[in-house]
Amino acid sequence: MSYPRRCVEVASFSPLVDPSQVADFIKSNNIRYPTILLEKAEGDFVEVMDSSELATCKGNAQNVLARLREKGIMHQKHAPSSL
């Protein structure tokens, strides 16, 4: 699969998502890399973290996850208690 030079393949894409739809969304909305996108509905995307917000995370994945939790996009799963 061929991607634009500055595009990164994301493993969490649904097999039903057409990468060209993502590229078109990014281009038509003048989105700068890096970015985190969320598919709201089939072919309907929204940018949930832009490049400046990601920069504040300073490359720390835990900071990114914390920001996504603050936005209500991700939820912490707790392991069941053995008690």
Residue 51 three-state SS: helix
The pLDDT of residue 2 is 45
**What are 17-32's pLDDT values in tens digits?**
788 888 899 999 999 9
Is the N-terminal amide bond of 34 cis, ω within 30° of 0? yes
Report pLDDT for 12.
52
Distance, CA of 26 to CA of 7 (rounded, Å): 10
Ranges in the chain, pLDDT < 70: 1-16, 43, 76-83
Question: Do the Cβ atoms of 75 and 69 come closer than 8 Å?
Answer: yes
Distances (CA, A) of 6 to 25, 34, 63: 15, 9, 23
Number of Cβ within a 10 Å radius of residue 22: 19
Strand partners, 45: 39
Residue 75: the pLDDT is: 73
Contact status, residue 46 vs residue 40, Cβ threshold 8 Å: yes
